[in-house]
Structure 1
Amino acid sequence: MSNTLDQILAIIRSVMDDKQKLNRILEFLEEEIFIEEKFKEIEIPEKFKPCIAEIAVSIDAGLVCFFNPETLAIDAYPRDLLHEVDLFEDDPEEVKKNLSELYGWDDVKVLDWLIFIEFTPPDSHESFRIMEAFAERLKNADKLKNKLIDALNNHKPFANFKNIIDNSDHRQDWFDFKFRWLENNVATQLMEELENFQCEAFEKI
């Protein structure tokens, strides 16, 4: 490993005075190494894999997802509405009654679960980072990269980014990239939460 690292550093040292070549090295590292490292496959028990995409789709749509790791059931509700009501603040039966009367929610499954994992939509900071990462991975020669970076660094970055990407040839690439990012986050959180559940179970023995 040290020999490989020495070879990499030797290449970098040999072009230290050539800005263009250094930028090419940086571009390669960002596109082929950094971003792919973000999306490296996470080892997940087979039974959970079908749930990852469903949760990712839901949080991308602005829903808060509750996942039962025992039954694999998923319950999801609009984030904005959950700001108005605390599902776990009062007596579960009273909460069910209120939700049924106010919103017509007659089957709030999560209130009957003993354990669950909560997945929330990305906040504005995370959403910005996803857009920024997508722009960074585009090739320097692509005019779209500069347009997106300019949009993110100016007024109304979210609206301007959307307008530019919707009128480009990379619209589907953007959707695929964002979905992979969300799936990766869901998988990472799932494995961390499962590990916590296991630790708590062992402590009770």
Structure 2
Amino acid sequence: MLDWKSAEWACTNYVDKDATLVMVDQVLETEYNWIDLHYVSSQWVRADGSKPTATHWEANQPDLRFGKCAGFNRFTGLWWAAPCDQKLGVVCQQSGSTPTTPAPGSSRSQCQALADGADLVSVHSDAEKKAVEAMVAGAGGAAVWTGLEYVSQGLAWTDGSETAYIKPLVTGHVVPGADCVQLTADGHWRWQGCDKSFGFVCLLTST
């Protein structure tokens, strides 16, 4: 886990110069994570200086007595102010309009370079799926690589997590060489050749 500034730096330097912490508008049911929001010059802004289009603060938040960086609560999906040096999980987002790298090779390596436990995103609920869709749409892209791939045993997440949620949803693996899976902004799972270049989402959860 990383503090807010380290998380933002890691996204930008390890993933891509245009990558950033995600701006989460949906519940993502992982551990506590930073979002791309901090308090500067008397206002809450993203790392690029822009203001969020919508806010999802918990009751009585944001409270600057607690801190000037924003995280979200895994149980409620709501935001809260936290000390910027607190160690939380990291989710990086890379814009689909920027130069990208293939998955699961180079993109996975860049995710793993963030910190121990980082990997391409895995999805285990409808809420998590909707959150990734929101990231794709928010970045202006059509689709991103996930950590889902076809191996000799069938579908598998690169982080080794269980596949019970995803197996009924991802079918039709019929094209040889199209062994990696994207998630599109409109919620479709799409088989694609692993050597293709697209944006990707990294996820680091606390352990």
Q: Which has the larger radius of gyration?
A: 1
TM range (shorter): under 0.3
Question: What TM-score do you get using the length of structure 1 for normalisation?
Answer: 0.23
More helix by share: 1
More strand by share: 2
